[in-house]
Structure 1
């Protein structure tokens, strides 16, 4: 049942576009709190490489789901959905408006729409896919997905072996494309979501990404990655910025090449983020330099 007087302002957009800064300004204006839906900022060991809000930003508004887990804990989108909805219910008791911000499309959708229901699949399918990954490599699985479900191949995080295996597992186990189970009618949320998107010309996005990577390195990203080498096989660390520097530390790549790969892979990630977020036709898109007053006026218009 939708309660029209409770609102969630969801801020999306590609990485490095300025979502954090906007979320803090909106939280201050509406005198409310921020829920992070960035699946890598959950982990306290990954501070620099995930561009998590810094001390000043965290002081600017109360944040939730930042550095509340360890990379050694298994924390998935289903658990996050449950925790975030529970927290939202509490926050909405005292705040008419709550802010959701993040670049992980699946995690944003989990809060705003709920998760898709998938059929149960014989565990042997996943076991087989995991051994195919070890023996034949990720590209083999990517090609298999392209053949069975081209739609998912073009929309999921194709460089993430866990996502590829999950999609294939459903395709093989159910005999239907993974994509066919997505975006079905789900239970209504007890709040109304106002979707805000930040964007820019592609060249601007790419140059902001390159600049951000340079800043992360100046802030000590390489040192952070060195501390995590012994955990490099954990899913949380199969992340742009970390996996490339592991290759440098393993003497597979030069530092210069690793940095150029971080920039390239982050640009590819931003492109996929935009593809994902643009599927939502309800999103109000703003250029990243839009005056916050203009964005607030549009939001208040929606609330009225």
Structure 2
């Protein structure tokens, strides 16, 4: 377990808009003084409290050492056991699973498969999901101590559950061979042909010039993501980086350049260049389509 003492570097994290965290004084304080705060609360505070019942050594052993050991193991089980055993009620785009035992041990984090909706503050959307962290946040929100709570749309959650249920039924009737759309590929078949507008690249560029608009060229379609900017888990600036006519931010070296109309293709970023998006995200982008681009 020596790896926990080394700080991993995630290069793609630099692309995520974290201005809200950088502005938060409590987050900045914790980030700046993480080590002394951890030592104080994890190892100094337990024996200090143990003095109240004249057993500081026992408090240090059980409230400090044993508690830290159990906390670490339960935390790290989320990215091991919750990717190996459990249910996948929302998505099978990755190996994350919902494990009730782990949810009980981690105050809801074991509902790992719901991370298909990463912008949602809940670990489990249902009232019956074991997710006490959710109720604490809701309580703080009711007291005015937490703001800006973000939830996935109920319709998106319902569609995701129905898709996985139909997939299970299909597997049961085809001896494990899944029928229907392939959720592991970058593009999914449409149920019907596109019936909307068809634009040239010049028309796309003209539309994208509208004040404040954020228009993406994705899968050959113009996607108006303006209304989605505030919901995007990676922040608005990341979407605008790959928007049509965007000239403000530099692209990574291995991403496709804009074409002659300034229509930058966002496929590279959407299908793995920055993040391999889930089926829920792909449905969201289809919902925001405004035209097919020739």
Greater relative CO, 1 or 2 (CA 8 Å, sep 6+): 1
TM-score by length of 2: 0.28
Rg larger in structure: 2
TM-score by length of 1: 0.28
Identify, as 1 or 2, the structure richer in helix. Answer: 1
